Amino acid sequence: MMAYWLMKSEPNVYSIEHLQRDSSTLWDGVRNYQARNFLRQMQVGERAFFYHSNADPPGIFGLMEITKINLVDPSQFDANSAYYDPKSTVDKPRWWTVVVTYLQTCTSPLTLGELRQHYEPAELLVIRPGNRLSVLPVPPEIALDIAAKTGLNL
């Protein structure tokens, strides 16, 4: 079944504009087991909303496609990386990720405040108070509704 996702990035580190310029990128650095488990569920061709976190305003700014899956995140082995994990080994990696490809930038972004107005925290995990996951599923009905509101073609 086709699933929809939401993936967070801080725009001063890596924004939807960066992804548009790069076309594709390896989504590395996720170091939370629950988020990693969602990454491992992703299938080629699925869509993910690009969410700007720690931003003004925070919200959904674009759309991308999952183009490569089940990749070992190389930054876990790189002692010079901020994402280095000394407990991870090449034989037993802990962290996997995907490659995402740019599809679209929102004609009108959906801010966190607007998401809170339209949806329920029980349905849309990103608006749950205290939520800290950087990779989250979005129920298909909500994904379609978000696409309609933001001018994105799923």
Q: Of 30-38, 61-69, 71-79, 137-145, which segment contacts DNA by CB under 7 A? A: 30-38
DSSP 74: G
State the CB neighbour count (10 A cutoff) for residue 58.
19
Q: Of 19-27, 29-37, 69-77, 141-149, which segment contacts DNA by CB under 7 A? A: 29-37
87 binds DNA (CB under 7 A): yes
- 80, 91, 129, 153: which one contacts DNA (CB under 7 A)? 129
Q: How many helices (H) and strands (E) does the chain have?
A: 4, 6
118 binds DNA (CB under 7 A): no
Nearer to DNA, 87 or 92 (CB): 87
Instruction: Identify the bridge partners of residue 135 per DSSP, sorted by sequence position.
Output: 7
Question: What's the min distance (Å) between Cβ of 134 and DNA?
Answer: 4
Nearer to DNA, 1 or 129 (CB): 129
Indicate the residue type of 41.
Answer: Q
Give the strands of the sheet with 135-138, arranged side by side.
Answer: 24-26, 96-111, 59-72, 47-52, 4-9, 135-138
12 binds DNA (CB under 7 A): no
DSSP 125: G
- 3, 25, 26, 53: which one contacts DNA (CB under 7 A)? 53
How far does CA 71 lie from the centroid of its chain? 15
Nearer to DNA, 23 or 117 (CB): 117
CB 136 within 8 A of CB 126: yes
55 binds DNA (CB under 7 A): yes
Residue ranges binding DNA (CB under 7 A): 8, 10, 31-34, 53-55, 58, 87, 112-113, 128-134
